[in-house]
Amino acid sequence: MHKVAWGCITAAFLAVALLFPVHPVAARQPTQSPLPPTHLSPYWPETVRRWEPLILAEAERRGLDPDLIAAVIWKESQGWPSRRGPAGAVGLMMVMPKEAGFSWRPTAEQLMDPATNIFWGARALSIILQQSGGDLFNALAAYNGGWDQVHLRVTRRYAQSVLLEYARAVAVRNGLSPNGYWVATVAALNSPRVLTVLGPRRPLSRYTQRPVMAVIPDATVEGRPTAVPFRSTDGTPPHVQVGIWISVDGRVVRPPEAERGAGTGQTESSLTPLAPIW
């Protein structure tokens, strides 16, 4: 089993850090990714689950895991389509409307319609994820505040909150407790230069490959992931895929369809930081 060395970007989500990958080591992509879910995780309350048909349709259109869209909806509006934000964002996914300077988008009144709102929210999220190169944490921070504000504490808290809720939904979807002793590792599938590691009982940490390293025992990107939060669908390079690995006692939890014929070509990363980078 091949080990990859990583250094710490942030020891906790409160740290403000920029990512400067050094000497990246490309991991081989699994031969197949898990099939996209056809239902929302039972983790979500009814206020979110009632929008399931709309979420599933836009998830398929944009290459998103439906539970990732649900996590954004839960954070932004808790499933109530009439919500308005202090900066002008509206609706289920708190989309900025035409009146706020986004001339290509519908009006605030139009974005109160759940179908319209999820269409534009999922569109924005998929574009940002493509721009991120597979860094889901930074993409969520950018969804909240734009790329020029991803370093702020408020946007990073937002990203941590959405990412943990999404990880909980994936865990429950695979038979685990939402508050159990599992750990989630999130990284790009094709070239995992950055790891985001968190769990219900583990503070969020960020790692990038550095010249000086040590072992991280609770993080892994080995084999096929538990779920795929995002995969590019428009064919525009670079082709971005993001994986999330849910592990319990060092063993990755995978849905039954992923266990059959699962590849083992993905690099494992089990590392601990020697020093933070900030």
Domain that holds residue 176: 7-259
Number of folded domains in the chain?
1
Q: Flag whether 103 is in a domain.
A: yes
Q: Confidence band (pLDDT; 50, 70, 90) for 6?
A: low
Q: Does some domain include residue 271?
A: no
Residue 2 lies in a domain: no
Residue 256 predicted with pLDDT over 50? yes
Within a domain: 126? yes
Report which DSSP code applies to 62: H
Residue 50 lies in a domain: yes
CB contact set of 157 (below 8 Å; sequence gap of 6+): 13, 14
Contact 246, 171 (CB under 8 A): yes
* Torsion region of 143: left, alpha or beta (phi above 0 gives left; psi -120 to 50 gives alpha): alpha
Q: Is the CB of residue 76 less than 8 Å from the CB of residue 118?
A: no
pLDDT value of residue 211:
58
Total residues belonging to the chain: 278
Q: Is the dihedral of CA 68, 71, 75, 78 positive or negative?
A: positive
Q: Give the lowest-confidence range in 110-124, 127-141, 206-220, 234-248.
A: 206-220
pLDDT reported for residue 25: 31
Question: Is 267 among the domain residues?
Answer: no
pLDDT per position as a tens digit, 92-123: 999 989 887 778 888 999 999 999 999 999 99
The pLDDT assigned to 213 comes to 57
pLDDT at residue number 33: 62
Indicate whether 269 belongs to any domain: no
Residue 79 and residue 86: Cα distance in Å, rounded?
Answer: 18
- Considering the domain boundaries, does residue 274 fall inside one? no
* pTM score of the predicted model: 0.83
Give pLDDT, residue 226.
Answer: 96
Highest mean pLDDT among 92-101, 138-147, 228-237: 138-147
More confident residue, 187 or 28: 187
CATH assignment of the domain containing 242: 1.10.530.10
Q: What's the pLDDT tens digit per position in 46-74?
A: 999 999 999 999 999 999 999 999 999 99
- Give the span between the Cα atoms of 196 and 216, in whole angstroms: 12
